Amino acid sequence: MTSAEWKRKAVHAGMGLFALTLRFLDGRVAAACALAALLFAAIAMPRIGRGIYRAGAGRRDAGIVAYPAIVLLLILVFNGRYLPIAAAVWAMMAFGDPAAAIAGKSLGGPTLPWNSEKTWVGLLSNWAVAAVGSVLVFLFVSARALQPDAVAILTIGAGLYAFLESVRSGWDDNVVAALPTALAVYQMGLRWPPALFRGPIPWKEIALALGVNAVVAAVTLALKIVCRSGAVAGGIVGFLILAAGGARPYALLWLFFLAGTVATRLGYRRKAQKGVAQSSHGRRGAAHVVANCAVPTALILLGVAPIAVVAAFAAALADTLGTEIGSLYGRRAFSPLSLRALPPGTPGAISWPGTAASLAGSALIAAAGVACGLLSPRLGGIAAAAGFLGALSESVLNRLGTRMGFRLDHEFANALNTFVGAMAALRLN
């Protein structure tokens, strides 16, 4: 690591000590302080702090600006009695990220399968330091006695933070990891312990879920619908959803999988000639499974309201159908922001056939959620709208990225669609 990078990490960790002040500040004062820090990072740092900028940074370093911006967002979202959650996740940001960078670059070791730029040593160091830091800060800010449940929740949250921080996204790491982790910690606090561990473990149901999905994985692999990694990942996701959520969300998973597979295979040769077809002859791999199903699976495990799960699957199918049908039948593409014409295939461009297919996909999942009793018709309408908004968010962010100099990783964008859809549904509910 260079001298500038050491200084940068020292400042990054040092700012985390201010999380301790949340024990004494109310939400409004804390938010005002975070806003002042954001303005300082955006206005003053380009003049006095360029010595800790990363090589190649422009007038403003995205990471230095994103850090206080995310702290401000955490304080605004988790105000009042939940302010200790903001403090705990702030500690994860402040101490886990530098630990990952220092350990990963100093010790090296095997790289991560999903991100060759980061190592297992860095990931585990992030988790360990973030867990300890978040527990200590949470206990100080909340002024509570040490409770095993709180330690367990924050340790799991720190693991989630470390994983999200390691994902290749196209955005600054601070933006990607903090808010989802804070929301997960909040949900675990409401519903602890997880549903699978409340009372006697239902071994028969778990064995059934395991057996069903082992057979499904083997059959889909034999039929060449998925590749080997997709069969393994799909089997794991299916097991978790069926074991933790039951048959109804499992039916939504199957509807998404079947409709998405048909859309991918539809007109495959024509899409291949255009250079927009899925790789591996449309066979889905682990990356596709995780990108589209990780969020709804996590929502089920966390016990979040069914409308969020339905909206997440709705966003996943809306995005898949919008992409596949749009690339096949969309002759004219345009920007979702300015409505100006764009060359087909431009990142973030949409078409009328693709938009109609996206709406249909979201409505199909929502209707299935109503039909199987997960949602009332009114909530089904909200889930459909939220799913469509989730799918549209990728196009909007890609167009913004073109203007602002970043580009979302494709698989991360798919996961983001489902997250936005779920959060929109909870907000609109």
Burial 352-381 (b: 16+ CB within 10 A, else e): ebbbbbbbbbbbbbbbbbbebebbeeebbb
What is the pLDDT averaged over residues 115-142? 95
Rounded Cα distance, 346 and 330, in Å: 12
Each residue's pLDDT tens digit, 339-349: 888 877 677 78
Residue 156 has pLDDT above 80, yes or no: yes
Nearest CA among 287, 311, 289 for reference residue 299: 311
- The size of the chain, in residues, is 429
Mean pLDDT is highest, among 46-50, 54-58, 106-110, 270-274, for 106-110
pLDDT attached to residue 16:
92
Give residue-wise pLDDT tens across range 354-392: 999 999 999 999 999 999 999 999 999 999 999 999 999
The predicted pLDDT at position 351 comes to 87
Least confident of 62-66, 110-114, 250-254: 62-66
Higher-confidence position of 220 and 6: 220
Please say whether the beta carbons of 127 and 158 come within 8 A. yes
Which residues lie across from 115 on neighbouring strands?
112
In percent, the amount of the chain with pLDDT more than 90 equals 56
pLDDT at 198: 60
**pLDDT reading at 144 higher than 70:** yes
Q: What is the pLDDT of residue 201?
A: 62
What is the per-residue pLDDT for 401? 78
Among 211, 208, 202, 419, CA closest to 304? 419
Q: Considering only residues 332 and 313, tell me which one the structure prediction assigns the higher pLDDT.
A: 313
Range among 103-107, 211-215, 322-326 rated most confident:
211-215
61 pLDDT above the threshold of 80: no
Q: Is the peptide bond before 148 cis (omega within 30 degrees of 0)?
A: no
Give residue 399's pLDDT band: very low, low, confident or very high (50, 70, 90): confident
pLDDT in tens, 27-47: 899 999 999 999 998 888 877
Q: Mean pLDDT highest for which of 119-133, 271-285, 406-420?
A: 119-133
- 172: pLDDT strictly greater than 60: yes
Mean per-residue pLDDT of the chain:
88
Cut 0.75: pTM above it: yes
Predicted confidence (pLDDT) at residue 314 exceeds the cutoff of 60: yes
Does residue 98 carry a pLDDT above 70? yes
Q: What is the structure's pLDDT at 282?
A: 66
Count helices and strands in the chain by DSSP H and E runs: 18, 4
The pLDDT of residue 54 is: 65
For 314-366, give the secondary structure using H, E and C. HHHHHHHHHHHHHHHHCCCEECCCCCCEECCCCCCCECHHHHHHHHHHHHHHH
Q: Which residues contact 314 (CB under 8 A, 6 or more apart)?
A: 361, 362, 363, 365, 366, 369, 383, 384, 386, 387, 388, 390, 421
pLDDT of residue 126: 96
pLDDT, tens only, 244-286? 899 999 999 999 999 999 998 888 788 777 666 666 666 788 8
User: What is the pLDDT averaged over residues 397-406?
Assistant: 77
Q: Are 19 and 141 in contact (CB under 8 A)?
A: yes
How far apart are the C-alpha atoms of 261 and 414, rounded to whole Å? 16
In this prediction, what percent of the chain has a pLDDT beyond 70? 91
Q: What CA–CA distance (Å, rounded) separates 263 from 265?
A: 6
More confident residue, 346 or 337: 337
